[in-house]
């Protein structure tokens, strides 16, 4: 399976950006963005979809972390 | 000089006294100094009031000072010699490293064999990645190309050779590399090879890479360290740039290295 060309990459990134924009608008409610999700899935290799999903999770986590929403636990007891 | 502090009355009294009789006065001191200067060369005839040991002490001090200066000079010369030797050894070590360290032999995207020695005389910006990379490799390669273009725009600078080395030799053969590099820059050189050759090149530059699990399409992502490496015309690794550096920052840094560069190879 050949690697995506530059054009194919750009199509994939465009679909991903559309999908993520929809998620941002709908506060990560995936059910509102089903059409964009299927467009995204058809534009990108499967491995890339998994990768981008993980990347989105990471970026969201990073946002929350930088906003200070995670506090270190006060005790050393295991949760 | 202490007498001066005693006030105007004391000073008035003193000024009426005959100068030679009182060694503490200014004039007395001036006379004393003059006689010392005259008597410096040898034993004193006019040794000054009560200072018969003076000239001999002064001479001894002078000889000690000269001797000390001589020793000091000798020590400085030895230190300079040691420093020169150390520099020489360092140059020799660098010359050996320039040839042996970071050596690689790979195939370029036209099927021609290329070893590190082939790039001697050129500045090289290298990036390790793979063609199936989702976003990082294209972004970093775009950045690298931007750096090359910024440097091309500067008059009087030597041309920089951009190089892309794959960490996925299983899939990235010569054809795949040729197809990939054409999208970025006409001078971008793609390098691939056997698994061993790629392993050797990556090891030389401490590049970590690890192929992930394969999915149903037999597709996989290769996890790898992300850096752009700068090699100087002697083939020595000079600097590296991570993801946080912008194209302008990298171009600035390369220009500074170019300005400071002195070849150590014959």
Read off the pLDDT of residues A25-65 as tens digits, 9 standing for 90 and up. 888 877 888 999 999 999 999 899 999 999 999 998 998 88
**pLDDT tens column, B152-170:** 999 989 999 999 999 999 9
Cβ count within 10 A of residue B52: 11
Domain membership of residue A16 (yes or no) is yes
* Location of structure tokens 């060694």: B23
DSSP B42: S
Q: How many domains does chain A have?
A: 1
pTM: 0.70
pLDDT over 90 at B263, yes or no: no
pLDDT (average), residues B251-264? 89
> Residue A70 phi/psi, 5° resolution?
-110, 125
For residue A5, give the nearest of B183, B218, B221 by CB distance.
B183
Please, where are the H alpha helices in chain B? Answer: 8-15, 26-38, 54-100, 136-153, 174-181, 195-204, 247-260
Mutation target to probe the B interface, by most B beta carbons within 10 A, among A2, A3, A12 is: A3
- The domain in which residue A18 lies consists of 11-54
- Rounded to whole angstroms, the Cα distance separating B158 from B248 reads 17
- What's the pLDDT score for residue A68? 80
B134 contacts in chain A (CB < 8 Å): 47-48, 51-52
Has the ipTM of the complex gone over 0.85? no
Say yes or no to pLDDT of B233 above 60. Answer: yes
CB atoms within 10 A of CB B35: 19
For residue range B117-148, list pLDDT tens digits in order: 899 999 999 999 999 999 999 999 999 999 99
The pLDDT assigned to B47 comes to: 47
Does the pLDDT at position B175 exceed 80?
yes
Q: Which residues contact B221 (CB under 8 A, 6 or more apart)?
A: A47, A51, B132, B133, B134, B211, B212
Q: Which residues, numbered 206 to 235 in chain B, qualify as contacts with chain A under a Cβ-Cβ cut-off of 8 Å?
A: 215-221
């Amino acid at each position: 399976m050949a690697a995506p060309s530059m054009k194919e990459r750009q199509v994939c990134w465009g679909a991903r950006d559309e999908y993520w924009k929809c998620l941002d608008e709908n506060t990560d409610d995936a059910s509102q963005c089903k059409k964009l999700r299927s467009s995204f899935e058809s534009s990108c290799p499967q491995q890339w979809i998994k990768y981008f999903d993980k990347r989105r999770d990471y970026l969201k986590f990073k946002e929350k972390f930088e906003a200070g929403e995670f506090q270190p636990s006060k005790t050393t007891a295991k949760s | 000089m202490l007498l001066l502090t005693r006030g105007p009355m004391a000073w008035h009294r003193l000024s009426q006294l005959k100068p030679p009789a009182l060694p503490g006065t200014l004039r007395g001191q001036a006379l004393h100094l003059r006689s010392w200067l005259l008597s410096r060369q040898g034993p004193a005839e006019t040794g000054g009031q009560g200072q018969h040991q003076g000239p001999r002490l002064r001479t001894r001090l002078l000889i000690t000072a000269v001797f000390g200066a001589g020793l000091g000079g000798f020590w400085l010369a030895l230190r300079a010699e040691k420093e020169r030797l150390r520099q020489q050894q360092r140059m020799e070590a660098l010359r050996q490293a320039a040839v042996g360290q970071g050596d690689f032999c790979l195939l370029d995207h036209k099927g021609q064999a290329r070893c590190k020695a082939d790039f001697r005389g050129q500045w090289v910006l290298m990036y390790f990645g793979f063609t199936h990379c989702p976003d990082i490799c294209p972004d970093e390669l775009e950045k690298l190309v931007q750096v090359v273009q910024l440097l091309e725009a500067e008059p009087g600078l030597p041309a920089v050779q951009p190089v892309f080395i794959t960490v996925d030799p299983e899939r990235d053969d010569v054809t795949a590399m040729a197809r990939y590099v054409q999208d970025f820059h006409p001078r971008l050189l793609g390098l691939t090879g056997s698994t061993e050759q790629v392993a050797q090149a990556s090891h030389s530059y401490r590049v970590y890479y690890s192929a992930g699990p394969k999915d149903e399409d037999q597709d996989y992502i290769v996890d790898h360290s992300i850096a752009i490496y700068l090699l100087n015309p002697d083939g020595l690794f000079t600097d590296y740039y991570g993801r946080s550096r912008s194209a302008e920052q990298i171009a600035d840094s390369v220009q500074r290295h170019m300005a400071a560069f002195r070849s150590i190879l014959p």
